[in-house]
Amino acid sequence: MAAEISIAPVLEHYPGLGPIRRIHSLANAGGFSGSMLWRLEREAGDLCLRRWPSEYLAERLVFIHGVLKQFGQSGLAWIPVPIPSRTGNTFAKHDGYFWELVPWMPGKADFRENSTRQRLAGVMKAVAQLHLVAESHSPRSLQPSPTLVSRGNQLQRLIAGEIDQISAALERHASQGLQAQGNRLLAHFRSRAPQAVSKLEVKMKLRVPLFPVIRDLLHDHVLFTGDEVTGIVDFGAMRVDSAACDLSRLLGSLLGNDQEPWEFARCTYDSIRPISADEWQLAQALDETHMMLAGLNWLDWICVQGRTFENYAAIHARLDGILVRLEGSRYTPPA
C-alpha cells in the first residue's frame, strides 16, 4: 500500500525542495498502470511524486522525459516537465523502482460535467500544439501506424482461435457479472470482426507522419481550470506513432459516439496543425478497433492470464462504457 511506503529516502535525491507541509498518498489514483502517486504540498508549489512499475525500463523514461523537456522548452505550460535529481537525471532509482518528480498540475478532469465547445476547442488546440512540437523535433517519416498494424494483427489472431480461448476461460473463471459483460463483448466481436479485418487491410498500409504521441490520452488525463486546459498528465504509454492515436483515444473518451462534435474537434485541431485525410481515416479506424478490442483485452488479462487488479468496480464501469459505445456505435467497420 502507498501509505506504508516511505518516500523520505527518495526525496533525498532532490535537494532544495524546501519545506514540505503535507504529503498525500494517492495510491494508483484510480489507474491501472501499476504506478503509485503522492502529492507533496509546498509553499513554493505542489509536486507530484510517481513510482513507476518495477518492470519499467530506464530507456523508456529517458525517451519520455526527453519529449516532455521539449514540450516545456517550447512554452507548453500545461505539461509537467520532470524535475532533475541531484545527479542531473530526471528520475531516481530507489528500492528497485524508478521515481520521478514533476510539478503538480492544477485543475480537474471534469470535461463531461461541462462539455462546452469552448472547452473542446481548448483541448484540441492544446493537443495540436503538442503534436506540432513533437513533429518538429522528429525526422520526417511517413510510415504505417504501428498501433493500427498491431491491432489488425490481433484481430486476425482472435479470429484464428484466440477468441475461443477467451470465451472458454470466461466461462470457467469469471464472476457472473463479468460473464454477462464478457458474453456481450464476445457477441459484438464475432459480428464485426470478419468485415473489420478486410476493411482494415487498406488502412494498415496508409503512410502518415510518425512522431512521439501520448497514445493513452483520456478524459481523466486532461485537467481544466474553468474553461482553460491547465494540465495534461500521464505519459507512460508514449511511443512514436501517428497523431491519429491521440485523436482517437481523446475524442472517443470525451465525446463517445456523437458525430457532430467529432467534426468540430477535427476542424479546431486542423486550424493549428493541418490534419490529412489519411490521418483522420486512421483516427476513425483506431477508434473502431479500440472499441472492438479493449474489452477483450480485459477478459484476456483477467480470465486467461489470471492477472489481478485492485479496483474491479472500475473495470466493470470501463467495460460498461465500452458496451454503451458498441451498442450505439456511429461507425461501421472503417471503409
Tens of pLDDT, residues 178-219: 999 999 999 999 999 988 888 898 899 999 999 999 999 999
Tens of pLDDT, residues 26-54: 977 656 778 899 999 999 999 999 999 98
**How far apart (Å, rounded) are the C-alpha atoms in residues 333 and 188?**
12
Q: Examine the pLDDT at 3 and tell me if it is beyond 70.
A: no
SS3 19: coil
pLDDT at res. 333: 36
Closest to 280 in 3D by CA, of 319, 331, 229, 329 = 331
**How far apart (Å, rounded) are the C-alpha atoms in residues 132 and 124?**
12
Q: Domain 111-327 falls in which CATH fold?
A: Aminoglycoside 3'-phosphotransferase; Chain: A, domain 2 (3.90.1200)
Q: Examine the pLDDT at 334 and tell me if it is beyond 90.
A: no
In the chain, what are the domain boundaries? Answer: 2-103, 111-327
DSSP result, 210-238: -EEE-S---GGGEEEETTEEEEE---TT-
Q: Examine the pLDDT at 335 and tell me if it is beyond 70.
A: no
Tens of pLDDT, residues 82-113: 999 999 999 999 999 999 999 999 999 999 99
DSSP result, 273-317: S---HHHHHHHHHHHHHHHHHHHHHHHIIIIIS----S-HHHHHH
Cell of 139: 525526422
Tens of pLDDT, residues 249-281: 999 999 999 889 999 999 999 999 999 999 999
**How far apart (Å, rounded) are the C-alpha atoms in residues 163 and 186?**
8
Helices 58-73/117-136 angle, 10° precision: 110
The most distant pair of C-alpha atoms in the chain lies apart, rounded to whole Å, by: 60
Q: Examine the pLDDT at 308 and tell me if it is beyond 70.
A: yes
SS3 331: coil
What confidence category does residue 157 fall into, taking pLDDT thresholds of 50, 70 and 90?
very high
The CATH superfamily of 2-103 is Phosphorylase Kinase; domain 1 (3.30.200.20)
SS3 114: coil
